[in-house]
Structure 1
Amino acid sequence: MDAAGTDWSQRYLAVLATQRQLSPHTLDAYRRDLAELAALCGQADWTRVRQADIRRASARLHSQGVSARTIARKLSSWRGFFGWLAHQTTLTANPVDSVRAPKRPKSLPKALSVDDAVHLVASTARPAAMPTPAELCDRAMFELLYSSGLRVSELAGLDLHYQAGPPPSLGWLELDGAEVSVTGKGNKRRTVPVGSHALAALRAWLAVRPAAADGSLALFLNQRARRMSARVIQLRLKQHALRVGTAVQVHPHVLRHSFASHLLQSSGDLRAVQDLLGHASITSTQVYTALDFQHLAAVYDQAHPRAKMK
């Protein structure tokens, strides 16, 4: 309430309910956020809340272990309230403006171990049977994802060979040169090598690949003989991982992360990994150095005689 006894928070919640027609669950969240702010600020008059009060409230929540994501949501809720209040009262500035939530800790990309990655891409659904064309296609796609660190969109856009157009090829396979050329983010072209196992899987797929129904040069085709979409590749990899018993949920970017992590572990050449991934800035690639340290820490824990002291 303000000095005149007006309960602005209740009026605001009424506006949200009637004009914006928010759900009862969302209204309860706004109500809790405003009640929490009133308690943190120790202030009954909303028009007297200042930016310093909001900063202290945010810092206090952070010290209590509230996640950065939750604090950001609360700040957004408070910002909306004070923006509305400025149109109803003499409040001249929104005290939540320029107040930012604490930075969220950057989570490391998920990467498989070398053994798990190899088992995933090398396994077949029916080891004792002759693989079907669909299985050969899957094997070639998964081997190529791990071999060359491609984005799933880059994999889906590959052609059998370069075509000047129209439309021109965004990516293509050069089987004799053991490489693929792809167009990544920012329309940047790069060429990456293809490993021997991926080449063998590609040759096996090309031996049974039907002609595309639309006459395109798409390298990977779905069951209707049309270009495989990124979404279908994602679903087929997920299903394959479940069939072969991979312990974690796998999507195409996991194989890209695994490619980068394993290459960095073996070579230590961060710049080369950056070029192969097609990162515009090396800061995007540096996250894999943390994955590399995880590998070193695991080796230390397993091998060092003093690593597991009771």
Structure 2
Amino acid sequence: MAEQHPTDEALIARYLEHARVERRLATRTLDIYAEHLRLLAAKIAEARLGVQRVTAAHVRRWMAQLHGAGREPRGIALVLSCWRSFYRWLGHEGLVASNPVQDVRAPKAGRPLPKALAVDDAVRLAEWHDAEADPWTEARDRAVVEMLYGCGLRVSELTGLDLHANRDAAGWVDLAAGEAHVLGKGGKRRSVPVGSKAAEALRAWLAVRADAPALAAAALRDPASAAALFIGRTGMRLTPQAAWKQVRARSLKAGLAAPVHPHMLRHSFASHVLQSSSDLRAVQELLGHANITTTQVYTRLDFQHLARAYDAAHPRAKARNDDSPETKAKDK
């Protein structure tokens, strides 16, 4: 590495002291700032510049180099934030006329793919029976999982369901018709089919639901709880937070590799329906997405599923994998 200009080192040291004393940044944050400013000093020295001669064109070129070297957009954004703050301080000190980092932006981060379970894992969780749980809790939690995975509900839609349709109900289940009527985002209502397995689990839950010891007392305190489809031991409506905890605990007990949360079951529902039907518009309607572009993320999941199947089964894919840089590296 080329030698850093002493003046640049002194300016960086002064800024870090300012950040520690006046901005009171945490030690970990100061360490990150110091690391990013050492990178800046190295880039400046490599370009035979000084801190005060850096332009926006230099910064953009350095960001492109970081991106080309594999640094993630979020990491580049952090580097820029640090540099921008440093040059803002230099401006306040009257050491630079303008901030060369001010209008430089990090590459746009790709939208992360939603996490979905493999079909076998989803079925395993839905069919798993907790022999250690009491029958009341087991019936409820199994019905919760079946409704989340079988209907693609948001957890708030699930916990908002009532036993029957009424004027104040956010949603309800009509087992005779095999439908769940839910209130989604933006106050948008939709109906989704309730499959045979979910209906079976719901009937088992309804057979024991009234056995909650505190249900009668809860109904006196909060009449709306008496109408709730899913309740806790206290007789009150099950909260989204409680449902989240129950699903997570159940997935760990069932032996899944990673803990599952309710929205992962919604993602799994969408991905598995799309894999089987290839009907993006139908998945949009089932999920209650206002815009189909929101649903299109599942086509990427579907393609990944197809790509894995291709790589595992097609003889030319195996040849391709055998010739890949990763395989060659392993053979060395």
Q: TM-score, normalised by structure 2?
A: 0.84
Q: Could you tell me which residue of structure 2 aligns to residue 134 of structure 1? A: 137
Q: Could you tell me which residue of structure 1 aligns to residue 209 of structure 2? A: 209
Question: C-alpha distance in 2, partners of 1:287/1:293?
Answer: 10
Q: Could you tell me which residue of structure 2 aligns to residue 46 of structure 1? A: 51
Question: C-alpha distance in 1, partners of 2:312/2:88?
Answer: 56
Question: C-alpha distance in 1, partners of 2:37/2:171?
Answer: 53
Q: Residues 138-177 of structure 1 correspond to what in structure 2 (within 5 A)?
A: 138-164=141-167, 168-177=168-177
Q: Could you tell me which residue of structure 2 aligns to residue 109 of structure 1? A: 114
CA RMSD of aligned residues (A): 2.5
Deviation, structure 1 residue 306: 4.4
Q: Is the aligned partner of 1:62 residue 2:72?
A: no
Structure 1 window deviating more from structure 2 (253-262 vs 287-296): it is 287-296
Amino acid at match of 1:259: F
Q: Which runs of 5+ in 1 are unaligned?
A: none
Q: Could you tell me which residue of structure 1 aligns to residue 186 of structure 2? A: 186
Map Cα deviations across residues 152-185 of structure 1 (whole Å, 9 max, x no partner). 1221222222332xxx332222222222222222
Q: Residue 44 of structure 2 contacts residue 50 of structure 2 at CA under 8 Å; is this kept in 1?
A: no
Q: Residue 147 of structure 1 contacts residue 194 of structure 1 at CA under 8 Å; is this kept in 2?
A: yes
Deviation, structure 1 residue 72: 1.0
Q: Could you tell me which residue of structure 1 aligns to residue 255 of structure 2? A: 245
Partner SS for 2:190: strand
Map Cα deviations across residues 129-152 of structure 1 (whole Å, 9 max, x no partner). 896111100011100001111111
Amino acid at match of 1:174: D
Q: TM-score, normalised by structure 1?
A: 0.89
Structure 1 residues 70 and 305, CA gap change in structure 2 (3 angstroms): closer
Partner SS for 2:223: coil
* Alignment: residue pair count: 305
Question: C-alpha distance in 2, partners of 1:63/1:307?
Answer: 27
Q: Is the aligned partner of 1:274 residue 2:284?
A: yes
Give the counterpart of 1:89 among 94, 116, 140: 94
Deviation, structure 1 residue 248: 2.8
Q: Is the aligned partner of 1:228 residue 2:231?
A: no
Structure 1 residues 44 and 14, CA gap change in structure 2 (3 angstroms): farther
Structure 1 residues 298 and 254, CA gap change in structure 2 (3 angstroms): same
Deviation, structure 1 residue 187: 2.7
Map Cα deviations across residues 216-235 of structure 1 (whole Å, 9 max, x no partner). 22211112111111121111
Q: Residue 3 of structure 1 contacts residue 45 of structure 1 at CA under 8 Å; is this kept in 2?
A: no
Deviation, structure 1 residue 84: 2.3
Question: C-alpha distance in 1, partners of 2:6/2:255?
Answer: 66
Deviation, structure 1 residue 307: 4.1
Q: Residue 150 of structure 2 contacts residue 195 of structure 2 at CA under 8 Å; is this kept in 1?
A: yes
Partner SS for 2:230: coil
Q: Residues 290-309 of structure 1 correspond to what in structure 2 (within 5 A)?
A: 290-309=300-319
Map Cα deviations across residues 56-83 of structure 1 (whole Å, 9 max, x no partner). 1111111222222211111111111222
Structure 1 residues 96 and 249, CA gap change in structure 2 (3 angstroms): same
Partner SS for 2:229: coil
Partner SS for 1:190: strand
Looking at secondary structure, tell me which structure has more helix per residue: 2
Deviation, structure 1 residue 108: 2.3
Question: C-alpha distance in 1, partners of 2:317/2:73?
Answer: 34
Deviation, structure 1 residue 92: 4.0
Q: Could you tell me which residue of structure 1 aligns to residue 130 of structure 2? A: 125
- Structure 1 stretches (4+) deviating beyond 6 angstroms? 1-6
Partner SS for 1:207: helix
Question: C-alpha distance in 2, partners of 1:46/1:232?
Answer: 54
